[in-house]
Every structure is written in structure tokens, then in C-alpha cells.
């Protein structure tokens, strides 16, 4: 069988390596390090928007924004105050001074003859330090 026959051909000699790739690019910062830093920042921001779903735009929210520097957000159901504060810091670059969370029950609605219910949701009231603000109403 050809599988067990010894190869009688002489192997060609390979030239000696002069320098490895690591030696050639030792001084330059690795692409992986720069990618890790930028991807970590992007990951933090994307995780922030998984927690902060959308700003709540209402009359009361705009009134509280001007008077008490408070911003209202609809947040993920499983998010707690610490995660919300970190998400605001990652998304807007401002660490909030206080976070209040309210669990809102969905309204019951009638669809023809059937009575249904909207989903429950969670609202966060984020208070920022004096002198800091967030621009939320760019497209509204």
C-alpha cells in the first residue's frame, strides 16, 4: 500500500528565517490592543442602550428637566439603579447624582370584544448634578 511506503525523495532545504513577524513589528502598537480599547468602549455604549430603551417625552418630563434637572427614561425591566447610573455614564458621559425607579403597570385595553393588556414597563428618573445637562430632544 502506498500509505506505508517510506518517502525516498530528498526534502528540499528551506532557507533560514531572518526575523520573525514579532521582531519586525515589536515597536508598533498591536492592532488587537487598539481594537480592544475601541471595542470595549463601543460595547459599553451598546450595553447602555440595552438598559436605557428610550427617553420618556411628556409635559411632566420636560417640566422636571427645566426645574430639577431630572430626566425620564424607559428602562429594561431587569435593570436596577446601579446599572441605570452606569448606563447614563456610558451613554452621555455624566454620572447622575440620583436615580429613582418606578415599575409601571401596563394599561388594560379593549381590542374588539376581547380585553387585552399592554406590557408592564419600568421608568427611571435620573437626576443630574447642577450645571450638567443632556440633549434628548434633537429630532422632536
Q: Give residue limits of the domains in the chain.
A: 55-140
Q: Model pTM?
A: 0.67
- The yes-or-no verdict on residue 31 having pLDDT over 60 is no
- The yes-or-no verdict on residue 16 having pLDDT over 90 is no
CATH class of domain segment(s) 55-140: alpha beta
Question: What was the pLDDT predicted at 124?
Answer: 97
DSSP code of residue 4: S
Decide which of 11 and 69 is more confident.
Answer: 69
Percent of the chain at pLDDT exceeding 90: 59
Decide which of 45 and 117 is more confident.
Answer: 117
Question: What was the pLDDT predicted at 95?
Answer: 95
Start-to-end CA distance of the chain, whole Å, equals 79
DSSP E strand stretches across the chain = 52-55, 70-75, 98-104, 108-111, 114-117, 121-127
Give yes or no for a contact between 91 and 52, defined as CB atoms under 8 angstroms apart.
yes
Q: Which residues of 71-88 are buried (b: 16+ CB within 10 A; e: fewer)?
A: bbbebbeebeeebbbbbb
Return the number of other C-beta atoms located less than 10 Å from residue 138's C-beta.
5
Question: What was the pLDDT predicted at 125?
Answer: 97
Question: What was the pLDDT predicted at 36?
Answer: 62
Percent of the chain at pLDDT exceeding 70: 69
Can you tell me the mean pLDDT for 31-43? 66
Amino acid at each position: 500500500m502506498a500509505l506505508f511506503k517510506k518517502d525516498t525523495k530528498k526534502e528540499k532545504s528551506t532557507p533560514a528565517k531572518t526575523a520573525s513577524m514579532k521582531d519586525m513589528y515589536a515597536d508598533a502598537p498591536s492592532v488587537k490592543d487598539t481594537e480592544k480599547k475601541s471595542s470595549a468602549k463601543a460595547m459599553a455604549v451598546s450595553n447602555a442602550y440595552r438598559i436605557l430603551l428610550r427617553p420618556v417625552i411628556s409635559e411632566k418630563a420636560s417640566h422636571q428637566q427645566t426645574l430639577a434637572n431630572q430626566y425620564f427614561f424607559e428602562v429594561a425591566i431587569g435593570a436596577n439603579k446601579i446599572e441605570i447610573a452606569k448606563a447614563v455614564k456610558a451613554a452621555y458621559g455624566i454620572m447622575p447624582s440620583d436615580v429613582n425607579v418606578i415599575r409601571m403597570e401596563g394599561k388594560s385595553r379593549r381590542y374588539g370584544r376581547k380585553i387585552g393588556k399592554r406590557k408592564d414597563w419600568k421608568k427611571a428618573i435620573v437626576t443630574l448634578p447642577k450645571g450638567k445637562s443632556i440633549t434628548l430632544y434633537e429630532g422632536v
